Structure 1
Amino acid sequence: MPTTDRNFYLNLLHFAGAVIITCLMAMTITLLCILLKPHFPSFEVTSLTVTSMPINTTVHQKHAVTFDFQGLLENPNALLVVWYAKLHLVLWFNNSSLASLPLEPPPLSNKVQTNTPFQARFAVDTEKFPGGVLREMAAQRRAHGSVNFAITLRAWIKFKLGGLGFKPRFMSLGCSPLQVAFSPEYNDKNETGILVAPSECYAD
């Protein structure tokens, strides 16, 4: 093979090798960018039980309504750990805030946790309900056999990769409507309502 042809093929091989290496590096960088791009956790309300919901709204006496709540936080990031601080739940009916409650953040871990369960209990005196809320709840229950509530989860979160931490961000996730069904029978033994179906939450 003439020297000119040999040099041409060597240059072609070098060029092809450089193109392949460049493509591999670009693919690696793109993949790392995708894997390292922070994604906010998703949240799902898995259970909500309302106990001692008063039926007779004309009787003005102190009465505690209990809301037992369970939820599940999911980390969609493959490589990033999510650190939570100042977790807070707010319970709503229509546009009225019924109660708020701080939550214990999950323990710090260097491992990527995919699912973090939460549970909380609100015990709210009916005297502290905003005006007219009990009447609206009773009317909704009579009309539909259920009452729609909502929950907001708020927290400061920080994404971490090993010893590297990203800037903290504020997260607010709204869960609505949470349809809680009650028995159609109106008596003292049927004041408990149960969430009809799990509900996913979305950024406010």
Structure 2
Amino acid sequence: MNSEPKPVVTGYPAAAQPSYSGTAAAGPAYGSSYPYPATAPAYYPPPPPPPPGPYHDPNAVYGHRNSSSLFIRRLIIICISVFLIIAIVTFILWLVLRFRLPEVAVSAASVSSFNVSNSQQVTGNFNLTFMVRNRNQKMGIFYDRVQAAVFYGSDSISETSLPPFYQGKGNSTAVPARFAAVSAYVDPDVASSILKERSNGGVVNFHVRIMAWVRFRAGAWRTRRHVMRVYCDNVRIGFSNSTSLIGSLEGAPKTCRVDV
């Protein structure tokens, strides 16, 4: 007998051969192939979701724009309200006070050294007095930048500036004005018309214009400046004859038209 020990065989057991007899092949004996029980396969959980990105509130910009628009709307409403309040107060004051235009008349007029040359030049000194009456019993009147001129027809003969003045409530003021015409050129038709009027009855019709900035005042309240225009048409200056150098106002004081 062979007494040598049998070698130890290591490794996996041989696979069972399929049976052709219709019976299943016998499995390995318990404890001969897998000395330890089989472990369950390892389980790996799904990866965590990515962190959320930065959040942009879509209402943030809209809210800023909305607040700016609200501020602009409120500012516009305030401006309109202030304007309406001022307009209403001004209208009420106008209804209460309701200024009236002054009355202006040429109360006196004289001409000296008057001459019309053959070269259509007019020379003469005009001295006029305007009577200005403030018809307002509750307001005074400021007169600024007063300008006056003497015309014959549409041709200016002489111009002058008058000093500014203030007129109290219901007062009448005499305003003197002096005009000096020194060889003032006029249209040939104007020169011939002056000579014709002076020879036919000795009365020459001049026109006087006044322009001034006026403001009405009632206590501390003052109106804005208005441009006042005065039209004194057909101021009749009578000469004793066709060669006389001196003339004076004919008839009653000449009432003027006043516009603002």
Question: How high is the TM-score relative to the length of structure 2?
Answer: 0.58
Question: When you count helix as a share of all residues, which structure comes out higher?
Answer: 1
Pick 1 or 2: higher relative contact order, CA cutoff 8 A, min separation 6. Answer: 1
2:206 matched to which residue of 1? Answer: 149
Deviations 1:139-196 (A, max 9, x none): 1111232100010111110000111101211110100110111012x45xx3101110
**CA contact 1:180–1:195 (8 Å) conserved in 2:** yes
Larger radius of gyration: 2
The answer to whether the aligner puts 1:105 opposite 2:164 as a matched pair is: yes
**CA contact 1:35–1:78 (8 Å) conserved in 2:** no
**1:100 CA displacement:** 1.4
2:250 matched to which residue of 1? Answer: 196
**AA of the residue aligned to 2:159:** S
Q: Which of 115, 120, 127 lines up with 1:68 in the alignment? A: 127
The answer to whether the aligner puts 1:90 opposite 2:145 as a matched pair is: no
Counterpart-to-counterpart distance in 1, 2:147 and 2:203: 26
1:14 matched to which residue of 2? Answer: none
The answer to whether the aligner puts 1:46 opposite 2:107 as a matched pair is: yes
The answer to whether the aligner puts 1:130 opposite 2:189 as a matched pair is: no
Q: Secondary structure in 2 aligned to 1:137? A: helix
Question: How high is the TM-score relative to the length of structure 1?
Answer: 0.73
**CA contact 2:120–2:191 (8 Å) conserved in 1:** no
Counterpart-to-counterpart distance in 2, 1:137 and 1:105: 33
Deviations 1:28-62 (A, max 9, x none): xxxx877610111110101111111226x33x598
**AA of the residue aligned to 1:170:** V
Counting matched residue pairs gives 165
Quickly say closer, same or farther: Cα 1:92–1:61, change in 2 above 3 A: closer
**CA contact 1:50–1:68 (8 Å) conserved in 2:** yes
What is the RMSD computed on CA atoms of the aligned residues?
2.3
**CA contact 1:35–1:79 (8 Å) conserved in 2:** no
**CA contact 1:87–1:154 (8 Å) conserved in 2:** yes
- Structure 2 regions of 5+ residues with no counterpart? 1-92
Quickly say closer, same or farther: Cα 1:142–1:81, change in 2 above 3 A: same
Counterpart-to-counterpart distance in 2, 1:160 and 1:83: 8
The answer to whether the aligner puts 1:171 opposite 2:228 as a matched pair is: yes
Deviations 1:87-132 (A, max 9, x none): 11111101111121110012x47x4251111111111112x23232
Quickly say closer, same or farther: Cα 1:156–1:121, change in 2 above 3 A: same
Q: Which of 64, 67, 77 lines up with 2:136 in the alignment? A: 77
Quickly say closer, same or farther: Cα 1:92–1:115, change in 2 above 3 A: same
**AA of the residue aligned to 2:152:** F
- Structure 1 regions of 5+ residues with no counterpart? 1-31
**1:134 CA displacement:** 2.8
**AA of the residue aligned to 1:193:** G
1:5 matched to which residue of 2? Answer: none
Counterpart-to-counterpart distance in 2, 1:105 and 1:122: 17
Counterpart-to-counterpart distance in 2, 1:177 and 1:62: 21
Counterpart-to-counterpart distance in 1, 2:101 and 2:191: 35
